[in-house]
């Protein structure tokens, strides 16, 4: 069966229309692929000359695994440090005073250094014109077995009232 000239023209027009639609679809697919490629480049970093998408994904996966392991190590370290924190001398109370009437400045001091359980030490320095004396008194559960001066008690109370941040 032979086609007439008008039928051949219709077939040609239909083929041209189909080719045009295919061309438009190919252009849209290429634009979409370009957008996906740009997004992957942003997500995975710029590709090297020889790197395939699979290689870049493998590198990203390895980097993620390394970061996950590092986070686990840091979490373990933070837990260790948190366990030590109650024992650290983190609360300080300082009182400066003048223990002698014949000196003119508050050069003596009492400092209480306590941990979160109110254990630690009180250091007292008495300054005089001719000498300086330093005393240390242990503190357990917020009190000392040694007699405390009013300034030492004040320093102890200042340290006990401090809040951790």
pLDDT at position 114, please?
Answer: 95
pLDDT at position 1, please?
Answer: 67
Residue 159 burial (10 A CB sphere; 0-12, 13-18, 19+)? buried
pLDDT at position 84, please?
Answer: 87
Segments in the chain below pLDDT 50: none
pLDDT at position 113, please?
Answer: 97
Vertex 59: Cα angle to 58 and 65 (nearest 5) = 90
Share of the chain above pLDDT 70, in %: 92
Query: What is the reported pTM?
Result: 0.56
- Break the chain into its structural domains and give their ranges: 1-46, 49-86, 88-161
pLDDT at position 48, please?
Answer: 63
DSSP-derived 3-state class of residue 50? coil
């Amino acid at each position: 069966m032979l086609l007439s000239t008008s039928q051949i023209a219709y077939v040609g027009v239909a083929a041209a229309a189909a080719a045009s639609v295919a061309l438009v679809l190919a252009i849209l697919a290429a634009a979409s692929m370009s957008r996906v490629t740009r997004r992957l480049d942003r997500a995975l970093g710029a590709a090297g000359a020889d790197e395939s998408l699979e290689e870049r994904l493998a590198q990203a996966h390895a980097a993620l695994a390394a970061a996950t392991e590092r986070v686990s190590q840091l979490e373990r370290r933070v837990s260790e440090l948190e366990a030590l924190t109650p024992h650290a001398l983190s609360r300080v109370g300082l009182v400066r005073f003048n223990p002698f009437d014949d000196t003119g400045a508050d050069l003596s001091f009492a400092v209480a250094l306590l941990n979160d359980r109110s254990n630690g030490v009180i250091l007292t320095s008495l300054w005089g014109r001719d000498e300086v004396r330093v005393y240390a008194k242990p503190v357990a559960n917020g009190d000392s077995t040694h007699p405390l001066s009013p300034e030492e008690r004040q320093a102890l109370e200042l340290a006990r009232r401090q809040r951790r941040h």
